[in-house]
Amino acid sequence: MFDSLKLTKIPEADESLRPAVKAFLAEQLAGLSAERRARSWMGHDPEFSRALAQKGWVGVTLPRDYGGAALGYFARFVIVEELLISGAPVAAHWISERQSGPLILHYGTEVQRQYYLPRICRGEAFFCIGMSEPDSGSDLASVKTRATRTDKGWTLNGAKLWSSYSTKATHMIALVRTSGAAGDRHEGLSQVIIDLKLPGVTTRPISDLSGDPHFSEVHFANVELGEDALVGKEGDGWNQVRAELAFERSGPERLYSSVVLFDLWLRYLRGAGINDDATAALVGSMTSRLAALRSLSISITGQLVRGERPETLAALLKDIGTEFEQAVPALVADHLASRPDEVADPDLLAALAYVAAMNPAFSLRGGTREILRGMIARGLGLR
Amino acid sequence: MDDMLENMAARLFADRSTPALIRAVEAGTGRDQFTGLWQEIVATGLCDSLVDEGKGGSGLGFAEILPVILLSGRFILPLALAETMVARALLADAGVSVPDGPIVLATAVSAGAADRIETGVIPLAATAGFALIDDGAGCDLFALNPADLIRAPGRGSLSAQVSVARSTSLARLPTPLVSLRVVAALLHAAKLSGAMKRLLAMTVDYGNTRVQFGRPIGKFQAIQHQLAVMAEQVSAAAIAVEAASPETGYLPDPLRVAVAKERTSSAAAIVGAIAHAVHGAMGISEEYDLQLFTRRLQDWRVADGSESYWSGLLGRAVLAEKSGSVIDFIRTRLAT
Ligand SMILES: Cc1cc2nc3c(=O)[nH]c(=O)nc-3n(C[C@H](O)[C@H](O)[C@H](O)COP(=O)(O)OP(=O)(O)OC[C@H]3O[C@@H](n4cnc5c(N)ncnc54)[C@H](O)[C@@H]3O)c2cc1C
């Protein structure tokens, strides 16, 4: 496991994208409040996503023939890092860019690629993920939503739950059963693309604890899907989902969900001249943790670039990364309240309120802590 | 460095830096054995790896010999090889002839009489022949006699404080560009990293072999999750050490060392605790090798500043910036 973990540099060519991205974001986000920025990749703004797409920074890893920028994972790392530091509202295109686009490129037919990928890159097609269901969370292989063969394609019945921003998305890629029964586990699962405007699809928003209606419940009642709704091979859905999750787990977003809060806190400490020993030690230990995690993330990005599938390391990084993300609001809250006679800056307090409330989600979404630790244990040879 | 050097060091340490030797050295009965081992190490030329080629060394950069330092941690080598490599490079650069024997790196503490130099607790001072001591204005080389050492408490400790008369200095070197504390902290961070990887492997092995309730304890989810946490800590610590290792030369950047020492020292507390938890009573017994490693982990964790010391240093640098994201700081000041 450690042999593959090599210190890796972001190549100069990719690093050189950074100033332009920084400048663009500074201009685009000038009026965005701290509280909105604190939402990190849960902030939703289709206008912003389209502006980013116009710069060519949506679908950066996709080939030019499909409207992409044909850049590598390191370039994507640089762009995503800047988006996250600045608290850009990326949720509208986030899933398409990170998961759905690469998935369609890899497993889709030529027709599917030609149709979906340019729309993703232009910020017109926004995808959401349909994995979880009312009775299937961590035990994803138990999904019951079913696509049944017809002469013209498939009929879909069932329900998906917790799909982020599906009320505002145009499409969903869902993991569904195409053969066998729930007891068959990993066999008989497939991934299908669903146009969310089709008859029989109903989407109900669900507010999260911060009040954002970001979650939703999606019901499918005899939804007629065409033959070309299937992505990849019928029955191969489980393998495809695993590969998809390896991408999802290794990016900087698994370290940076609280970075806007961290930076607002730093700005406050610097401005107020708070630099006693205890504060310095706290700032230093948090910086040190984050520095090591960033090196890990870049190292894993290097493995993706080399075409490896670092599943165990991606799970490892996500688990330790989310632990850090979750520690930030707790440490910042404690630090601020250790000085009960000082009132911190309102922007900082607003960001803290959001992240402190939302942070339990960081180790749930994309696979819970317990599931990830099981995967790491498997990688260590214990199961 | 070519793999040959690494393979050679791995073979030598595996054959000779054995638990039996370490026990003998700790008991004070292994002096002949460790002098023999030192001569074998000297014969490999490893000690002069960092010395310029023009001055008779191999002229390697720190990052190239990092694998050897990691191995010295992996095999808890009871001799200050890593420290000697740096000391010899410093001495050679200053044109001072190199003495024969392990050299530890130390920092003078301010207390004490004006005519004496005293240090904090230095790992492996008990088996060293010399100490290079940084007093902030320069470094002095001293020969170490048993009377100069205040041995650290704790059974089997090879650490000691040094107290020597200034007048016995063998040579005075100008202040290095980076203090010896920074250099020595990186060496201890690297040894911690090597030792922690070994502890992870030992503990996974034990989890797969010890049977309770009819199955290997490694099949229990509670044990698996502890080992997963251990792997996370070891991974983050390992990459921090790599990031702090200079590619050329041997003088590291103090802020990157701060990350390396903070990460490894913090991890050491967690890794040691989990290793023991999984090993049960077996790990507490003298006969079983685990304790040789976990006791050394304690020494190296606090050597040249614990995680809190280095956090403070790093945090002050972050706060001193007028503006900018913490990521900009990490990217421009702490990353390669
Ligand atoms: C903010 C957010 C956004 C999300 N977005 C999406 C989305 O867009 N699309 C989507 O499909 N889903 C989404 N999810 C759902 C997410 O994937 C699930 O929350 C996750 O898979 C866990 O399922 P669950 O919530 O049903 O918890 P459960 O599986 O019921 O787990 C509850 C607890 O039991 C533990 N547990 C379960 N099984 C085991 C086991 N075998 N061993 C030990 N412990 C176990 C879990 O670790 C957890 O602690 C989102 C979730 C959040 C919080």
Three-state secondary structure readout of chain A: CCCCCCCCCCCHHHHCCHHHHHHHHHHHCCCCCHHHHCCHHHCCCHHHHHHHHHCCCCCCCCCHHHCCCCCCHHHHHHHHHHHHHHCCCCHHHHHHHHHHHHHHHHHCCHHHHHHHHHHHHCCCCCEEEECCECCECCCHHHCCCEEEECCCEEEEEEEEECCCCCCCCCEEEEEEECCCCHHHCCCCEEEEEEECCCCCEEEEEECCCCCCCCEEEEEEEEEEEEHHHEECCCCEHHHHHHHHHHHHHHCHHHCCCCHHHHHHHHHHHHHHCCCCHHHHHHHHHHHHHHHHHHHHHHHHHHHHHCCCCCHHHHHHHHHHHHHHHHHHHHHHHHHHHCCCCCCCCHHHHHHHHHHHHHHHHHHCCCCCHHHHHHHHHHHCCCC
Confidence of residue A247 (pLDDT cuts 50, 70, 90): low
Task: List chain B residues with CB under 8 Å of A6.
Answer: 242
Q: Which of A249, A259, A277, A287 to mutate to test the interface with B (most CBs of B within 10 A)?
A: A287
The response to whether residue A132 sits with its C-beta less than 6 Å from ligand 1 reads yes
Beta carbons of B239 and A290 less than 8 Å apart:
no
On the 0-12 / 13-18 / 19+ scale of CB atoms within 10 A, B256 is buried
Written out in words, the top-level CATH class of the domain with range A129-234 is mainly beta
The response to whether residue A162 sits with its C-beta less than 6 Å from ligand 1 reads yes
Q: What is the mean pLDDT of residues A279-298?
A: 98
Beta carbons of A280 and B315 less than 8 Å apart:
yes
CA of B217 to the centre of ligand 1 (A): 26
Beta carbons of A85 and B328 less than 8 Å apart:
yes
Q: Which of A126, A132, A172, A215 to mutate to test the pocket of ligand 1 (most atoms within 8 A of CB)?
A: A132
Cross-strand partners of B116: B165
CA–CA distance, B333 with A367 (Å, rounded to integer): 33
Question: Contact B123/B151 with Cβ under 8 angstroms?
Answer: no
Report how far apart the first and last C-alpha atoms of chain B are (Å, whole number).
19
Residue A289 reports pLDDT greater than 70? yes
CA distance A93 to chain B (A): 23
Provide CB contacts within 8 A for A87, sequence distance 6+: A29, A32, A34, A36, A37, A38, A39, A40, A43, A260
CA–CA distance, B5 with B41 (Å, rounded to integer): 12
pLDDT tens, residue by residue, B262-298: 999 999 999 999 999 999 999 999 999 999 999 999 9
On the 0-12 / 13-18 / 19+ scale of CB atoms within 10 A, B216 is middle
In chain B, where the domains are located? 2-173, 180-334
Q: What is the DSSP letter of B128?
A: -
Pairing of strands A215-226, A153-161: antiparallel
pLDDT tens, residue by residue, A46-99: 999 999 999 999 999 999 999 999 999 999 999 999 999 999 999 999 999 999
Confidence of residue A253 (pLDDT cuts 50, 70, 90): confident
Q: Which atom of ligand 1 is nearest to the CA of A42?
A: 1
CA of A363 to the centre of ligand 1 (A): 9
Q: What is the mean pLDDT of residues B135-144?
A: 96
pLDDT tens, residue by residue, B192-202: 999 999 999 99
For chain B, percent of residues with pLDDT exceeding 90: 94
CA–CA distance, B230 with B196 (Å, rounded to integer): 9
Q: Which atom of ligand 1 is nearest to the CA of A370?
A: 47
Tokens of A175: 């993991």
Which chain B residue has its CA at the smallest distance from A255's CA?
A: B327
pLDDT tens, residue by residue, B58-101: 999 999 999 999 999 999 999 999 999 999 999 999 999 999 99
Protein residue with least CA distance to atom 30, ligand 1: A137
In chain A, where the domains are located? 12-125, 129-234, 251-379
Residue A227 reports pLDDT greater than 60? yes
Check residue A182 and give its pLDDT: 74
- Residue A324 backbone phi and psi in degrees, to 5: -65, -50
Residue B1 reports pLDDT greater than 60? no
CA angle A266, A267, A268 (to 5 degrees): 90
CA distance B151 to chain A (A): 30
Provide CB contacts within 8 A for B153, sequence distance 6+: none
Which chain B residue has its CA at the smallest distance from A382's CA?
A: B218
CA of A215 to the centre of ligand 1 (A): 13
Check residue A249 and give its pLDDT: 75
Check residue A311 and give its pLDDT: 87
> Chains A, B: CB contacts under 8 A, how many?
173
The overall pTM is greater than 0.95:
yes
Question: Contact B68/B46 with Cβ under 8 angstroms?
Answer: yes
Average pLDDT, chain B: 96
Select the CATH number that applies to the domain covering A12-125 from these four: 3.40.50.300, 1.10.10.60, 1.10.1740.10, 1.10.540.10.
Answer: 1.10.540.10
Q: Tell whether B306 lies on the interface with A, counting CB pairs under 8 A.
A: no
Chain B, 176 to 215: residues with Cβ < 8 Å from chain A are 197, 204, 207-208
pLDDT tens, residue by residue, A117-154: 999 999 999 999 999 999 999 999 999 999 999 999 99
CA–CA distance, B309 with A274 (Å, rounded to integer): 18
Task: List chain A residues with CB under 8 Å of B204.
Answer: 380-382
CA of A168 to the centre of ligand 1 (A): 22
Q: What is the mean pLDDT of residues A263-286?
A: 98
Average pLDDT, chain A: 95
Check residue B113 and give its pLDDT: 76
Written out in words, the top-level CATH class of the domain with range A251-379 is mainly alpha
pLDDT tens, residue by residue, A192-205: 999 999 999 999 99
Confidence of residue A4 (pLDDT cuts 50, 70, 90): confident
Q: Which of B210, B325, B333, B334 to mutate to test the interface with A (most CBs of A within 10 A)?
A: B325
Check residue B112 and give its pLDDT: 65
Q: Which helix (H) or strand (E) holds B172?
A: strand B171-174
Check residue B151 and give its pLDDT: 96
For chain A, percent of residues with pLDDT exceeding 90: 91
The response to whether residue A88 sits with its C-beta less than 6 Å from ligand 1 reads no
Which chain A residue has its CA at the smallest distance from B321's CA?
A: A270
Written out in words, the top-level CATH class of the domain with range B180-334 is mainly alpha
A120: how many CB neighbours lie within 10 A of its CB?
A: 29
Confidence of residue A220 (pLDDT cuts 50, 70, 90): very high
Check residue B2 and give its pLDDT: 63
Q: Tell whether B237 lies on the interface with A, counting CB pairs under 8 A.
A: yes
Residue A315 reports pLDDT greater than 70? yes
CA–CA distance, B286 with A164 (Å, rounded to integer): 55
